[in-house]
Amino acid sequence: MDRINSLVPELWCADFDASLRFYVDVIGFSVGQHREDTKHAYLTLGDSQIMIANWEQDGTWESGPYEYPYGRGINLQILVEDVRSLRRRVQDAGVEVFIELYTTSYWRTRQTDERTEFAVLDPDGYMLRFTQIETETPHTNS
Q: Which pLDDT does position 71 carry in this prediction?
A: 86
pLDDT digits (tens, 9 = 90+) for 23-65: 999 999 999 999 888 999 999 999 999 999 997 766 676 777 7
CATH of domain 10-56+69-138: 3.10.180.10
- At residue 86's C-alpha, the angle toward residues 81 and 87, to 5°, is 130
Calculate mean pLDDT across residues 91-102: 97
pLDDT digits (tens, 9 = 90+) for 106-142: 888 888 899 999 999 999 999 999 999 998 888 886 5
Sequence-ordered list of residues with C-beta below 8 angstroms from that of 59, at least 6 positions apart, any chain: none
Calculate mean pLDDT across residues 100-105: 95
What are the sequence ranges of the domains in the chain? 10-56+69-138
pTM (two decimals): 0.88
Whether a cis peptide bond, with omega within 30° of 0, leads into 69 is yes
